[in-house]
Amino acid sequence: MKMELSGTAVITGAAAGIGRAVAEILRDAGVDVLAVDRDERALATLSGMRTHICDLRSADERDALVAKASGTRYLVNSAGAILIKPILECTVADLRTIFELNVDATWDLTSRIGATMPTGGAIVNMSSAAARLNANTETAIYSASKAAVLSVTRSFAHAFAPGVRVNAVCPGMIDTGMQVEVLEGLARVRDSTPDGVLSGRLQTLPLGRMATAQECAGVIAFLLSDAAAYLTGQAISADGGLVML
């Protein structure tokens, strides 16, 4: 079955990493893409799509985005932040900072943009394999925020059915700038090196390697497409076998 994609799409976190890869895949499929990010310089390097500068932690800036995005067919909530810090050193302020972007913005855009979508619309929210691991004391706030995204996804899948589908993707180790940040942060906390952390983490993956941003973006494009017309409320792991059912 061919993946059919058409209409307009809003992609947050579109300046880099998975978000950028999704934006480029949809553009190449003929979708009218609105690429959203707070990094003006990186957005300017995108071609063949519209761009919108937005700090998603700002309610006012989200209001402006929602007004511009009304009626779009696809939404990908890819923007996110991570905090690497031992759990016993984390504060409520740390929690709030990460949740503002990873959860609040995802909830708000899903709710308000989703409510204007035409029948056949689709939303994909970015969760993480971290939301499904037994425990993680070094990225506990990030993991909690991504677990919340899964619950948000299921709830809106019910709220918008049957006309609009809502799913999530749970990436594992993806070869992006954020992964570099993760490896450096974990190395700092563990008194190790980024290469040492990477080697240890790859040993936990049956496929034995990181994914490219394009591989993960392909899963997202599938969930948006008509090929996934009978999928809603699902969380698809794109993690090389890190978390298995």
> What are the structure tokens assigned to 239, written together?
């993690």
Please report, to the nearest 10 degrees, the dihedral formed by the alpha carbons of residues 102, 107, 112, 113 taken in order.
50
CATH of domain 8-238: 3.40.50.720
| Catalytic status, residue 142 | yes
pLDDT digits (tens, 9 = 90+) for 124-156: 999 999 999 877 889 999 999 999 999 999 999
| Token duo for residue 199 | 């080697």
State residue 4's pLDDT score: 86
Say whether pLDDT at 3 is over 90. no
What pLDDT digit, counting tens, does each position of 6-45 carry? Answer: 999 999 999 999 999 999 999 999 999 999 999 999 999 9
Domain range summary for the chain, segments of one domain joined by +:
8-238
pTM: 0.95
Give the integer Cα–Cα distance in Å for 109 and 115. 9
80 contacts 102 by C-beta, under 8 angstroms: yes
Annotated catalytic residue within 99, 107, 142, 160: 142
Give the C-alpha separation, 13 to 79, whole Å: 4
User: What's the CA gap between 141 and 236, in Å, rounded?
Assistant: 21
Instruction: Encode pLDDT of 75-124 as tens digits.
Output: 999 999 999 999 999 999 999 999 999 999 999 999 999 999 999 999 99
Counting Cβ atoms within 10 Å, is residue 122 exposed (0-12), middle (13-18) or buried (19+)? buried
Check residue 154 and give its pLDDT.
99
pLDDT at 1 (0 to 100): 62
- Among the listed residues 149, 151, 173, 153, the one whose alpha carbon sits nearest the alpha carbon of residue 223: 153
Please provide the average confidence, as pLDDT, over all residues in the chain: 96
d(CA 96, CA 19): 23
d(CA 185, CA 198): 12
Alpha helices in the chain (DSSP H): 17-28, 40-43, 59-69, 92-99, 106-114, 140-160, 177-190, 194-202, 213-224
